[in-house]
Structure 1
Amino acid sequence: MDELPPAFWQGVEEFNQGQYYACHDTLEALWMEATDPPKSLYQGFLQVAVACYHLGNKNWQGAVILLGEGIGRLQSYEPEFAGLDIETFVDVSANLLECLQKHGPEQVAIFSQLVLPAHQQSESASQDVSLMNRLTLLPKITTVE
């Protein structure tokens, strides 16, 4: 399978712009109609999108569970699929999951700032967010160069 449908690329754009709920809706519509491959690819990306959405709502448990499930589905597509850099996406997502697990639910407020637009971030968390952004904690869906 060399080409993915235009709706998938719309979902990629939504994901990379932090529109995680919209991305979920876009990819879920594809996932429901698809067969493998790429059905589990769509599901893996949409689960990571929902994990990021949960993170923005300070739902640590939802973020951790869905990150783990999404990563598990995407690993079978590594290192790349249809020109997508799955390996990097999985690595960054796994790093975020590890950080969330290490810091626990009591620190979720700091991590939730990662997924909020800059104008919605609390002033007290802005320095923490700047540091975390430099650590590249949020995955982006990219193509292989």
Structure 2
Amino acid sequence: MREEIPSEFWQGIEQFNQQEYYACHDTLEALWMEAMEPTKKFYQGILQIAVGLYHLSNHNWQGTVTSMGEGMRRLDYFKPDYFEINVEQLIHQTTNLLLALQSAGPDKVADFIFAENGGKNSLEITPPKIFKIES
């Protein structure tokens, strides 16, 4: 039987979608520390992707690719969806970003900016969003 979805989880999802990755990490980490498996693994997967995106904002290529890869590996267990979250779509979006980062390499990480920020001579990206499953 699945655990109930705590309101703090939705707060963390909103923080993720608002690109508040550090706050998302803190919110989900508090849940992760108290959760039971398999939900513990689910929280950790999302928060690792958030940490990866936070590293990207600081131009830390190694931290980005490592955290995002670990997060996707943990979330793979929960495809196609879990806790009303479209896990498959989140993994797909994160994979696309990770492949672009790996292709560009660490020397180009500073060229990646989030599309909403705009910029010239940069590789504009759209960060992954977490989508709720619509019933």
TM-score with structure 2 setting the length: 0.91
- Give, in whole Å, the separation in 2 of the partners of 1:124 and 1:37: 43
Partner residue in 2 for 1:12: 13
SS in 1 for 2:120: helix
- Give, in whole Å, the separation in 1 of the partners of 2:34 and 2:95: 28
- Give, in whole Å, the separation in 2 of the partners of 1:110 and 1:87: 27
Partner residue in 2 for 1:106: 107
Q: Does 1:95 align with 2:84?
A: no
- Give, in whole Å, the separation in 2 of the partners of 1:39 and 1:61: 25
Q: Does 1:29 align with 2:18?
A: no
Partner residue in 2 for 1:143: 132
Q: CA deviation at 1:2?
A: 6.5
Question: Structure 1, residues 93-139: CA drift from partner, whole Å, max 9, x if none?
Answer: 1111111111101110122x218x62xx6x4346x42xx34xxxx21
Say if 1:2 and 1:82, in contact at 8 Å, map to a contact too.
no
Partner residue in 2 for 1:124: 120
- Percent of aligned pairs with the same amino acid: 49
Q: Give runs of ≥4 in structure 1 deviating > 4 Å.
A: none
- Give, in whole Å, the separation in 1 of the partners of 2:8 and 2:110: 32
Structure 2: which 5+ residue stretches go unaligned? none
Structure 1: which 5+ residue stretches go unaligned? none
Q: CA deviation at 1:58?
A: 0.1
State the one-letter code of the partner of 2:120. Answer: S
Q: Which has the higher helix share?
A: 1
Say if 2:3 and 2:39, in contact at 8 Å, map to a contact too.
no
- Give, in whole Å, the separation in 2 of the partners of 1:47 and 1:108: 18
- Give, in whole Å, the separation in 2 of the partners of 1:8 and 1:125: 37
The 5 A counterparts of 1:10-89 are: 10-89=11-90
Aligned residues: 133
